[in-house]
Amino acid sequence: MESVILQCDEVTVDFDGFKAIQGMNLSLERGELRFLIGPNGAGKTTMLDVICGKVKPTAGKVVFSKTIDITRKKEHQIAELGIGRKFQTPSIFPTLTVYENLEIAMKQKRGVFAAMRARMRMEDHDRIEAQLEMIGLETKADWRAGGLSHGEKQWLEIGMMLLQEPEILLLDEPVAGMTDNETEKTGELLKQISRTQSIVVVEHDMEFVRNFASKVTVMHEGKLLKEGSMEDVQRDDRVAEVYLGKRRDADASRSTA
Ligand SMILES: Nc1ncnc2c1ncn2[C@@H]1O[C@H](COP(=O)(O)OP(=O)(O)OP(=O)(O)O)[C@@H](O)[C@H]1O
């Protein structure tokens, strides 16, 4: 398709004989907000690890921007090509201010030597200001990052990623531990980002997925189980059985515990 930014074909990951991913296919469009869901151990995080180069597939192929085979590329090369990964724990500098964190992220994009030479240009300042506004931290630019709430730290890290201008953002459970209000704001932020960049979100919070997903990919036992709208996915018997059913059981046992 014209606007495919990432194509994973028949990806298999073998951890010492255990196949965490088995022939998984995933095609991501430019400007798409895709949710990757599935029960524990389905292979979702491993799939993100494959895309960002942290884990090398034993078979299959990952192609970025139609022509660039990134299957065997190193993590830093993949990051430089424009695929950014955010893990659950924020990797911000807690003793620096919010502004300084964003400044560092922007300079990283430019490379260490250029950053050492570069003085802050006016347009850099404007970009940081715009980023601060986008992540809703414009009034907290001078705060120490360590003093932000959990949600604000996550937004700061997303802002830092965005200043490195990725074409694809990979997010692992971005709303875990957030308040309802923060979760809602994060959904709006992701929607806004997906106007210009593509995002893959691994998520367990089904209400969040329902509220913000247009397309959902369901994995089970390392394979693609179902792909489509949240309505399609929810209507699918196999999904209900392996995923929603299990979750219902888990909820039931928790509520009776
Ligand atoms: N480095 C590793 N070595 C061996 N097995 C691994 C490794 N990483 C993951 N696995 C296994 O691969 C399977 C898939 O794990 P993965 O973390 O990708 O699942 P997941 O869908 O993200 O699950 P969760 O929702 O619980 O995070 C699991 O059975 C896990 O135990």
CATH number at residue 71: 3.40.50.300
How many Å apart are CA 203 and CA 182, to the nearest integer? 15
**pLDDT > 80? residue 120:** no
Same domain, yes or no, for 72 and 172?
yes
Q: Which atom of ligand 1 is nearest to the CA of 43?
A: 18
Over the chain, what is the mean pLDDT?
Answer: 89
Task: Verify whether ligand 1 is closer than 6 Å to residue 147 (CB atom).
Answer: no
How many Å apart are CA 153 and CA 149, to the nearest integer? 6
Between strands 168-172 and 18-29, the pairing is unpaired
Residue 91 burial by CB count (10 A; 0-12/13-18/19+): exposed, middle or buried?
A: exposed
**pLDDT > 60? residue 244:** no
Alpha helices in the chain (DSSP H): 44-52, 75-81, 98-110, 112-117, 122-134, 150-163, 180-193, 206-212, 230-235, 237-239, 245-256
Residue 89, domain member (yes or no): no
**Identity of the residue numbered 136:** G
Q: How far is the CA of 222 from the centre of ligand 1 (A)?
A: 9
Q: What value, to the nearest 5°, has the Cα angle with vertex 101 and ends 123 and 55?
A: 110
Q: Which residue has the higher pLDDT, 26 or 252?
A: 26
Q: Which atom of ligand 1 is nearest to the CA of 46?
A: 18
89 — pLDDT class (breaks 50, 70, 90): confident
Task: Verify whether ligand 1 is closer than 6 Å to residue 18 (CB atom).
Answer: yes
Same domain, yes or no, for 131 and 197?
no
Residue 87, domain member (yes or no): no
Which ipTM value was assigned to this complex? 0.96
| pLDDT value at residue 256 | 39
| pLDDT value at residue 245 | 57
**pLDDT > 70? residue 114:** no
Residue 43, domain member (yes or no): yes
Of the residues 165, 184, 213, which one is the last residue of a structural domain? Answer: 165
Considering only CA atoms, give the Rg of the chain: 19
Show the tokens assigned to 89.
């724990």
Same domain, yes or no, for 76 and 173?
yes
Same domain, yes or no, for 115 and 104?
yes
Same domain, yes or no, for 30 and 132?
no
Between strands 59-64 and 68-69, the pairing is antiparallel
Task: Verify whether ligand 1 is closer than 6 Å to residue 42 (CB atom).
Answer: yes
Same domain, yes or no, for 124 and 202?
no
Same domain, yes or no, for 147 and 195?
no
| Residue nearest ligand 1's atom 4 by CA | 15
Quote the pTM value: 0.89
Q: How far is the CA of 202 from the centre of ligand 1 (A)?
A: 13
Ligand 1 binding pocket mutation candidate from 46, 203, 206 (most atoms within 8 A of CB): 46
Q: How far is the CA of 25 from the centre of ligand 1 (A)?
A: 18
Q: Which residue has the higher pLDDT, 249 or 60?
A: 60
Per residue in 185-228, pLDDT (tens digit) is 999 999 999 999 999 999 999 999 999 998 999 999 999 999 99
Task: Verify whether ligand 1 is closer than 6 Å to residue 15 (CB atom).
Answer: yes
| pLDDT value at residue 121 | 65
Q: Which atom of ligand 1 is nearest to the CA of 49?
A: 18
- Domain of residue 142 covers 96-165
Q: What percent of the chain has pLDDT over 70?
A: 88
**pLDDT > 50? residue 171:** yes
**pLDDT > 90? residue 254:** no
**Identity of the residue numbered 29:** E
Rounded mean pLDDT, 8-15: 97
Question: What is residue 177's three-state secondary structure?
Answer: coil
Same domain, yes or no, for 56 and 102?
no
Q: Which residue has the higher pLDDT, 90 or 125?
A: 125
Same domain, yes or no, for 144 and 176?
no
Which of 48, 98, 53 minimizes the C-alpha distance to 203? 48
Task: Verify whether ligand 1 is closer than 6 Å to residue 40 (CB atom).
Answer: yes
| pLDDT value at residue 209 | 94
Ligand 1 binding pocket mutation candidate from 13, 45, 47, 58 (most atoms within 8 A of CB): 45
Which of 212, 161, 176, 194 minimizes the C-alpha distance to 52? 161
Handedness of CA 70, 76, 79, 84 (dihedral sign): positive
Task: Verify whether ligand 1 is closer than 6 Å to residue 238 (CB atom).
Answer: no
Task: Verify whether ligand 1 is closer than 6 Å to residue 220 (CB atom).
Answer: no
Same domain, yes or no, for 160 and 178?
no
Q: Got the DSSP string for 39-88?
A: STTSSHHHHHHHHHTSS--SEEEEEETTTEE-TT--HHHHHHHTEEEE-S
